[in-house]
Amino acid sequence: MDSTAENPSTTRFREYLRIQSVQPQPDYDGIVRFLLKMADEIGLEKRTLELSPGRPIVILTWRGTQPQLRSVILSSHTDVVPVFEEFWTYPPFAAHKDKDGNIYARGTQDMKSVTIQYLEAIRQLKSEGRQFLRNIHLTMVPDEEIGSHLGMGLFIDHPEYHALNPGITLDEGLASPTDEFSVFYGEKCVWWITVHCRGDPGHGSRFIENTAATKMHSVITSFLNFREKEKKRLESNPDLTLGDVITINLTKVNGGVSCNVIPSEMSTTFDLRIPPTMDLKEFELQIESWCRAAGMQVTFEFHKKSIIQKITTPEDSNPWWKAFSDPCKEMGLKMKPEIFPAATDSQYIRAAGFDALGFSPMNNTPILLHDHNEHLNEDIFLRGIKIYSRIIGSLASVPPLAGEEDTETRVCPAE
C-alpha cells in the first residue's frame, strides 16, 4: 500500500508505534514529545506530571461547558512489553503495514491503538464544532506493564488525580476473535503464593519418610486438581468466560542441593486469578486445608494478594453504563460484559471508588497482546475511532447526576 495515500489517523498511529517505549528502558521522552504535539494540533490543554523520576504522566484536557460536573477520563498506558525480534515476521517497531492492511508492531493491541483512537475521536469531535457538558481528560501513564506501582499506583493517590474529578474512566480491554466486543466491568484478584514444604533429609538411596518432596507432591496435586475442575467448568458452560473461573498455574519449583541428597525443604509457587464475585476468605481457607492435608511443616506466603472486589455495575441503572452502552446498541455492536481475566490500571481506579470500564474496540481480531507478531488491521483501527467518538460524546453529555451542581447550559446533543 502507498503510505502517502493512507488515512492520516493511520499515519499518526504508525508514528506512535515507532517510539520504542519498551520495558525495561521505555523512551518516555519520545512519548511525551509526540503526545504534546498531538495536543497542540488538536487544541487540548496539556501538562505533565512526574511522580517518579523518569516516569512522566501526560494529562490532556478538553473543557466542558459545566466543568464542575464529574469528568470523563480516557486512560491509557504508554509502555509496552519486550519483544523477541527473531520470532517476528517484520521488525517489531517498524509499524509495517502489509497488503491486507495489517499493521505489525509491539503495542498495536496493547495499547497504543486505544491512545490514538481517543485522540483521533476527539480531533474529529472538535473539528465538527461539538461541545459537551463534562470535562474530558486523557491520562497517559507509565509502567503499567511492570505493575503500575510507579505509574497509576502513585497517580491514583495524588491530589492531581482527584482534581480531575473523575466520574467514569475508560481503560484498555482485549481484542475479540468473534463479532462481539468485550467490555470489562471488573478484574480478577491476583494472588501469587509460594508454599514451603519442610521434611526429613537423607541419602538418595533410601526410602526416607516425611520428605519435603512428598509434601510438595500433595500440594501440587491439590492445586492442579482444582485447576482442572475449573477448566472443565469453563469448557462445559458456554455462558462462562475466563473471567468467571479461578485460574491456577504452577510457575516455579525450588529445592535440592545435590542429585543424591534428599532435601529438607522445597517450595512451589502458583499464580492464581480469582473472580471478584468469589468469597476470598473461604478460598483462602481452602488453600490452608490443602497445606494441612500435605502434612506438618507446610506453610504458604503471599507475594501478591489483591482483595479488590469492586466492580462497575453493567446495568442501565448505572447512568455511566447506559451512556456507554446506548451508542453501542445504536451502532449495532454486540457487547459482552465480562470480568477481565488479568490486571490493568482499572484495578487502582475501582479500588479508589471510581467507575471504570475496560474497552478496546477490536472485534474479529485475534488476541495478540504480549505475543509475537502483534498486529491490528487498519480498518478495525479506523472503525474504533468512530466508535469512540460516539461513546465519548455520549459519556460527556450525561446530564447532572445526584450530588452534582445542575445548571441550564445548552450543549450540542451527542449523535
**94: how many CB neighbours lie within 10 A of its CB?**
14
Q: Are strands 247-255 and 189-198 parallel, antiparallel or unpaired?
A: unpaired
Please report the pLDDT score of residue 405 as a whole number.
64
How many whole angstroms separate alpha carbon 114 and alpha carbon 104? 15
Which residues lie closer than 8 Å to 259 by C-beta, 6 or more apart? 204
pTM score over 0.85: yes
Class of domain 189-274+277-305: alpha beta
Q: Which residues are catalytic?
A: 79, 144
Residues of the chain with CATH 3.30.70.360: 189-274+277-305
Is residue 370 within 8 A of residue 81, CB to CB? The reply is yes
Is residue 140 within 8 A of residue 19, CB to CB? The reply is no
Could you tell me the fold of the domain covering 3-187+311-396? Aminopeptidase (3.40.630)
Positive or negative CA dihedral for 292, 293, 294, 296? positive
Backbone dihedral angles phi then psi of residue 195, each to the nearest 5 degrees: -100, 125
Cell of 315: 446495568
Please report the pLDDT score of residue 2 as a whole number.
47
How many whole angstroms separate alpha carbon 144 and alpha carbon 107? 13
Residues of the chain with CATH 3.40.630.10: 3-187+311-396
Per-residue confidence in pLDDT tens, the chain, 415 aa: 444 589 999 999 999 999 999 999 999 999 999 999 999 999 999 999 999 999 999 999 999 999 999 999 999 999 999 999 999 999 999 999 999 999 999 999 999 999 999 999 999 999 999 999 999 999 999 999 999 999 999 999 999 999 999 999 999 999 999 999 999 999 999 999 999 999 999 999 999 999 999 999 999 999 999 999 999 999 999 999 999 999 999 999 999 999 999 999 999 999 999 999 999 999 999 999 999 999 999 999 999 999 989 999 999 999 999 999 999 999 999 999 999 998 899 999 999 999 999 999 999 999 999 999 999 999 999 999 999 999 999 999 999 999 886 444 333 333 3
